[in-house]
Amino acid sequence: MLVECATHAILGACIGACAREEFKLCKRLLPKLDASMLCLADRGFRGHSRWVAARATGAELLWRARTTQILTPQAVLPDNSFLSQLVPGTARREQRPSQAVTVRVIDYELANAQGEPTA
C-alpha cells in the first residue's frame, strides 16, 4: 500500500497472496511515485535492483536496511552518517561495478518499551 503520511490518504494498493513476495506486488505501485515524494520502506524492500527501480521514479528514498546488510563506509559525513555503495547481489564489492549506486547510510537504534536498544 502506498499511503501519504500526514493525511493517511491511500495513493495506491495491490492485493495478492500472503505467500507472494511483497516487492513483486509493490512494483506495480512504483508508477505512482514522483519527484515530489519521499518514499519510506521497511527492510524487506532493500537491495540494489529494488532501489534502482524506485529511484528511477524521481522520488527520494529512505529505506530501512537489515542489520546484516554490509554497507561499507566510503566517506563519513559531519553528522556521522556515511556514504556507501549498493551493488547488484551477484557482484563482489571489490569489483565496484558500474551499476553501483551511492547511498547515504544513517545508523540508528530505537529503544523498546523497556528502554533497551533494538535493531
How far apart, in whole angstroms, are the C-alpha atoms of residue 111 and residue 15? 32
- pLDDT at position 24, please? 78
Beta strands in 1-119 (DSSP E): 2-3, 10-12, 38-41, 60-63, 75-76, 82-86, 101-105, 110-111, 117-118
Residue 17: the pLDDT is 78
Residue 26 burial by Cβ neighbours in a 10 Å radius (0-12, 13-18, 19+): buried
- What is the pLDDT at residue 94? 56
Alpha-carbon span 102 to 112, nearest angstrom: 31
Intra-chain end-to-end CA distance of the chain, in Å: 24
- What pLDDT shows up at residue 65? 86
pLDDT of residue 79: 95
pTM recorded for the entire structure: 0.76
Instruction: Identify the pLDDT of residue 70.
Output: 84
Cell numbers placing 79: 553528522
Ranges of residues in the chain whose predicted pLDDT is under 70: 19-20, 90-97, 115, 117-119
Give the pLDDT confidence score for residue 96 in this predicted structure.
56
Could you tell me the CA-to-CA distances from 54 to 18, 29, 76, 102, 112 in Å, in that order?
22, 10, 25, 14, 30
